[in-house]
Amino acid sequence: MDLRTRYLAAYDEQLRTDAETPSAVAVRAHGPLRLVTFAGGRGFVTYQDLGGADAEGIERLVVDALDHFRTDPGITRVEWKTRAHDDAPGLHESLLRHGFVAEETESIMIGEAARLTVDVPLPEGVVLRQVRAEQDVKAMSAMCAEAFGDPPAEGAELADALLRRLALEDGTDDAMELWVAEAGGAMVSAGRLEPVPGTEVAGIWGGCTLPAWRGRGIYRALTAARARSALRRGRTLIHSDSTEDSRPILERYGFLRVSATTPYEWRR
């Protein structure tokens, strides 16, 4: 088994489980699907595979999943997470037919945490630190919304979700970590570390850097800090769904693109 095949097997077996949805309010199984409800009116559809369903069977799964979320008036949007290596005949067409919209495709990257633990010089005046206080989480979320060009309301929603998660996981062995880079007391970059319970894997998520601070090594330094923390917590592999901005950074350190993921979103 080559390294890419081993990493992809670890992804399918260890990460496409409850590990994907640690902050879920509710999870319902429907055939091969996991229909997940998050706070804030968000539904989420995921699975390890589609059980060999043909195009007609997949059409029924899409209809059933959407009917499940439509019956809850509190759900305002639903994400269906697809993976490029799945056997899923007709899924793309079925999702579009039922009102889902394809968003940006990201690369599924996996590699050794130790490869990321490099010394990266930071620009003068930039410091890294881990945060969890409410005001820091809100400032971090607002900065990430700005970095991604999202409305402030999405930053506030992210802050609420992160604060709920921090409270839920407080004191546990697999608690999420939030890391930020600051310049002159203002946050300019951030990212999360999410150790996956019962596995050798930690995820690095939510990487964001303000446009004026990109290309200066700050995100690489944040990634190195999170990798060191992952190793201290016994996680030897790092997983990330990476945009085209962050994929080359991970490839530089020997990470492999094992597949791709495309989210499809439906809004009420």
Asked whether the beta carbons of 207 and 191 are under 8 A apart, the reply is yes
The encoded tokens of residue 206 equal 């939510």
**pLDDT tops 90 at residue 176:** yes
C-alpha–C-alpha distance, residues 14 and 199, integer Å:
7
Please tell me the predicted confidence (pLDDT) of residue 86.
97
Does 140 share its domain with 22?
no
Does 13 share its domain with 140?
no
Cα 147 to the center of its chain, rounded Å:
17
Note whether residue 206 is domain-resident: yes
Structure confidence by residue, pLDDT tens digits, 130-171: 999 999 999 999 999 999 999 999 899 899 989 988 998 888
Does 100 share its domain with 165?
no
Note whether residue 199 is domain-resident: yes
What is the extent of the structural domain holding 22?
Answer: 3-109
Asked whether the beta carbons of 238 and 201 are under 8 A apart, the reply is yes
Structure confidence by residue, pLDDT tens digits, 49-99: 999 999 999 999 999 999 999 999 999 999 999 999 999 999 999 999 999
Please tell me the predicted confidence (pLDDT) of residue 180.
98
Of the three residues 109, 141, 171, the one that is the final residue of a domain is 109
Number of domains comprising the chain: 2
Mean residue pLDDT of the chain comes to 94
* Residue with token string 């993921």: 261
C-alpha–C-alpha distance, residues 192 and 157, integer Å:
16
Does 70 share its domain with 131?
no
Does 90 share its domain with 119?
no
Does 116 share its domain with 101?
no
Question: pLDDT-based confidence at 42, cuts 50/70/90?
Answer: very high
What average pLDDT does range 14-32 have in this prediction? Answer: 90
Please tell me the predicted confidence (pLDDT) of residue 126.
97
CATH number, residue 238 = 3.40.630.30
Does 217 share its domain with 249?
yes
pTM exceeding 0.85: yes
Asked whether the beta carbons of 62 and 252 are under 8 A apart, the reply is no
Structure confidence by residue, pLDDT tens digits, 24-40: 899 999 999 999 999 88
Does 170 share its domain with 69?
no
Does 91 share its domain with 199?
no
**pLDDT tops 90 at residue 21:** no
Structure confidence by residue, pLDDT tens digits, 182-201: 999 999 999 999 999 888 99
Does 76 share its domain with 134?
no
Does 97 share its domain with 119?
no
